Amino acid sequence: MHRVAVIGGDGIGPEIIEAGTRVLDAAGERYGFDISWQRFDIGAERYLETGMLLTEDDLAELARYPAIYFGAIGDDRVKPGILEKGILLALRFAFDQYINLRPIRLLRGVQTPLAGKGPEDIDFLVVRENTEDFYVGIGSRLQGREAKELEVIRDLYSIRFDLDVESDADEIAYQIGVVSREGSERAIRYAFDLAMRRRKKVTSVDKANVLTDIYGLWRDVFGQVAAGYPDVESEFNFVDAVTMWFVKNPEWFDVVVTPNMFGDIITDLGAMIQGGLGLAPGGNINPGGTSMFEPIHGSAPKYRGLGVANPVATIWAGSMLLDHLGEHEAADAVLSAIEASIAQGVVTKDMGGSVGTMAVAEHIAATILTS
């Protein structure tokens, strides 16, 4: 018996999570395990009714579970950033989910916008450090008199833009990124351990040629960790260059490891080359604690309740969840069944099909049960 917490969230989130749990229950039936789902009412509706985002009681209860299955967050009635930061990012930080794992893989039967590339060319993993960098929340917006308290900023902008620190009409904003040796090392080591089970190549992404302090440390730590894995090929890429190579030569990559902000950006590019956001799953992983698995797309409020949302990314995230729980054979079966469904044309409208969310899930479940 596996115990898994479920947060459907907002918009299409509850629908795609229902589809995902249906498939994972079928995998359990086929491979001899059960999943006990515990659903949590966390999201926009509760926030609008009570003002609560994520409470200490929520966290204490969620900490009892090895994994969270998460739908989507975001609602047009709530200012952007409130739900995302107050729930999704808060969960990642509270449970120290320091790895964001994103498979960039072109499934059989899916079209990529890259001419001449196929499934044999697009199959790599991005390991994104998930708790540091510019996402630590250190920053502010200041008007003239407030800026007087920050001598470095005051002096810089007085010289460059003739900032009048006595006037509230002038305004500046700043955001600080933080990278630690410990935070970098554990993410980079995770990437190398993954590569040992794959094609034994790790590519580091940074911008150390310009942001020399923060990413210089990252680059130093990468080199030191790489020295402990002599069988793994390693290389450095600047973030601007890696976006070009993702498009031109995706077959070069095996495991890519990146600081938080760059990982956020390049994995959306990765999602496009694997067929779109509807096919892109992600895992927020604490190897020794509570981890969380989700599709990377948004909540698409305008499609809520219509039963047309593509559940594939959510079901694929469920495959990652099963793998995390040690059900490796079942995890592989879920991914194979997704490919079979695509090959048979049982897909939603965004992929050129005509069936609904639950019909896709039922077909994938049936494929697992009869395989």
Whether residue 211 contacts residue 178, with contact meaning beta carbons closer than 8 Å, is answered with: no
Which residues, in sequence order, are CB contacts of 292 under 8 Å at separation 6+?
A: 67, 68, 69, 70, 91, 92, 95, 97, 283, 284
Distance between CA atoms of residues 230 and 11, nearest Å: 47
Distance (Å, rounded) from C-alpha 71 to C-alpha 217?
35
pLDDT tens readout for residues 47-106: 999 999 999 999 999 999 999 999 999 999 999 999 999 999 999 999 999 999 999 999
pLDDT digits (tens, 9 = 90+) for 347-371: 999 999 999 999 999 999 999 999 8
CATH number of 111-132+179-273: 3.40.50
Residues β-bridged to residue 124: 104
Written as tens digits, the pLDDT of the chain (371 aa) is 999 999 999 999 999 999 999 999 999 999 999 999 999 999 999 999 999 999 999 999 999 999 999 999 999 999 999 999 999 999 999 999 999 999 999 999 999 999 999 999 999 999 999 999 988 878 877 766 565 555 555 565 555 555 555 555 567 777 888 999 999 999 999 999 999 999 999 999 999 999 999 999 999 999 999 999 999 999 999 999 999 999 999 999 999 999 999 999 999 999 999 999 899 999 999 999 999 999 999 999 999 999 999 999 999 999 999 999 999 999 999 999 999 999 999 999 999 999 999 999 999 999 999 98
Name the CATH architecture for the domain at 1-97+278-371: 3-Layer(aba) Sandwich (3.40)
Amino acid of residue 136? V
Q: Which residues contact 98 (CB under 8 A, 6 or more apart)?
A: 129, 130, 131, 183, 186, 187, 285, 286
Per-domain residue ranges for the chain? 1-97+278-371, 111-132+179-273, 136-175
Distance of CA 206 to the CA centre of its chain: 18
